C-alpha cells in the first residue's frame, strides 16, 4: 500500500505511456492510471516502448477526470516546475518518498501532458507540489524521465536487488596463483624480459603484484596458463632462429 500510484493526466503519445510503464517497472511500481489520453486507450503504440513492461500496461486503469483518478488517495503530489502563486508545500522527490512511506493512506503522483504539464485545476487537487531539482538553464525532462527520477528516489528505500550478469566465481587458491606466476616467468625469462639485472627482483615483485591483484578465479588462472602455453613454443622457436 505504500507504493505510489502514477497518474498520467491527458498524456498525448502512446510511445510516452509505454516509456513511463518501463520506467515504473524498473523501480518496482506497477499501478498506472490514465486520465483522458489523447489517442484513447488501449494504444498499440505503447507496447514497443514499454520494452516488456506489459503488466503495467495491461493493468492500467482509465479515468474521465483527474479527481476520479485520485479519489481513493489520501496524499496527492502534483509534479510541476511552476511554483509561483502556490499556497502549497513544495517537496523534492526524496522528501515525497519519505512521506509516502511513513504516512497512512494511498499516495498518487500526478504528471501532466507532455507539452503543457498540469493545469491549475489539476494542481489544485494536490496536497503538495513535487519539483525535481534541475539545471535552471535547461529544465527539460520528458515524461518518462520525470517518472523515472521520482520512481528511483522512492525505490532507494525499497532495497531492490542490484542486477548482476554472472555470479562471481570464488578466488583461486594461492597455490594456483603461484603456478601461474611461475609459468609467466618461465615464458618471459628466455625472451629477455627481466632486464637490466639490477632490476630483476623489483620486476618480479611488480609482476607478482599484478597477477595477484585482480583475484583470479581458477578458471581464469587456467585460461592465462593456456595463453602462455600457446605462446611459449613460439618464443622457443624464435630463439632457435
Which cell goes with 143?
Answer: 515524461
Per-residue pLDDT for 162 more than 60?
no
5-155 under CATH 3.40.1280.10, yes or no: yes
- Predicted local confidence at residue 220, as pLDDT: 81
3-class SS of residue 160: coil
What's the whole-number mean pLDDT along residues 113-121?
A: 88
| Closest-CA residue to 148 (of 117, 189, 111) | 111
Least confident of 52-66, 127-141, 151-165: 151-165
Q: Is 67 exposed, middle or buried (0-12, 13-18, 19+ CB in 10 A)?
A: middle
Least confident of 3-7, 27-31, 236-240: 236-240
Per-residue pLDDT for 70 more than 80?
yes
Higher pLDDT, 214 or 155: 155
Which cell goes with 154?
Answer: 522512492
Q: Band of the pLDDT at 234, cuts 50, 70, 90?
A: low
Check if the beta carbon of residue 47 is closer than 8 Å to that of residue 72: no
What's the whole-number mean pLDDT along residues 122-140?
A: 88
Q: Please tell me the distance from the alpha carbon of residue 146 to that of residue 132, in angstroms, as a whole number.
A: 8
Tell me how crowded residue 229 is: count the other CB atoms within 10 A of its CB.
11
| Closest-CA residue to 237 (of 191, 186, 195, 193) | 191
DSSP letters spanning 10-49: S---HHHHHHHHHHHHHTT---EEEES-TT-SS-TTHHHH
- Predicted local confidence at residue 160, as pLDDT: 61
Q: Is 12 exposed, middle or buried (0-12, 13-18, 19+ CB in 10 A)?
A: middle
Higher pLDDT, 159 or 123: 123
Q: Please tell me the distance from the alpha carbon of residue 87 to that of residue 81, in angstroms, as a whole number.
A: 15
- Predicted local confidence at residue 237, as pLDDT: 64
Higher pLDDT, 75 or 85: 75
- Predicted local confidence at residue 51, as pLDDT: 93
Per-residue pLDDT for 89 more than 70?
yes
Grid cell 479515468 is found at: 63
Residue 77 forms beta bridges with which residues?
A: 109, 128
pTM: 0.68
Q: Band of the pLDDT at 57, cuts 50, 70, 90?
A: very high
Residues spanned by CATH 3.40.1280.10 within the chain? 5-155
Q: Please tell me the distance from the alpha carbon of residue 212 to that of residue 177, in angstroms, as a whole number.
A: 7
Q: Band of the pLDDT at 136, cuts 50, 70, 90?
A: confident
- Predicted local confidence at residue 15, as pLDDT: 96
Check if the beta carbon of residue 93 is closer than 8 Å to that of residue 153: yes
Amino acid at each position: 500500500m505504500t507504493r505510489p500510484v502514477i497518474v498520467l493526466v491527458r498524456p498525448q503519445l502512446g510511445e510516452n505511456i509505454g516509456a513511463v510503464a518501463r520506467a515504473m517497472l524498473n523501480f518496482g511500481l506497477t499501478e498506472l492510471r490514465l486520465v483522458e489520453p489523447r489517442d484513447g486507450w488501449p494504444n498499440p503504440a505503447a507496447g514497443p516502448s514499454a520494452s516488456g513492461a506489459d503488466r503495467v500496461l495491461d493493468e492500467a486503469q482509465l479515468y474521465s477526470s483527474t479527481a476520479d483518478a485520485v479519489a481513493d488517495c489520501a496524499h496527492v503530489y502534483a509534479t510541476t516546475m511552476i511554483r509561483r502563486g502556490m499556497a502549497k508545500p513544495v517537496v523534492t522527490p526524496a522528501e515525497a518518498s519519505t512521506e509516502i512511506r511513513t504516512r497512512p493512506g494511498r499516495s498518487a503522483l500526478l504528471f501532466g501532458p507532455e507539452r503543457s504539464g498540469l493545469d491549475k485545476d489539476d494542481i489544485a487537487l494536490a496536497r503538495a507540489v513535487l519539483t525535481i531539482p534541475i539545471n535552471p538553464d535547461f529544465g527539460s525532462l520528458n515524461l518518462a524521465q520525470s517518472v523515472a527520477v521520482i520512481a528511483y528516489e522512492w525505490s532507494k528505500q525499497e532495497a531492490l536487488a542490484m542486477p548482476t550478469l554472472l555470479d562471481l566465481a570464488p578466488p583461486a587458491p594461492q597455490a594456483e596463483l603461484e603456478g601461474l606466476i611461475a609459468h609467466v616467468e618461465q615464458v618471459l625469462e628466455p625472451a629477455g624480459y627481466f632486464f637490466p639485472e639490477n632490476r630483476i627482483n623489483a620486476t618480479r615483485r611488480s609482476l607478482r603484484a599484478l597477477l595477484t591483484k585482480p583475484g583470479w578465479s581458477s578458471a581464469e588462472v587456467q585460461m592465462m596458463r593456456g595463453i602462455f602455453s600457446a605462446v611459449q613454443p613460439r618464443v622457443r622457436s624464435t630463439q632457435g632462429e
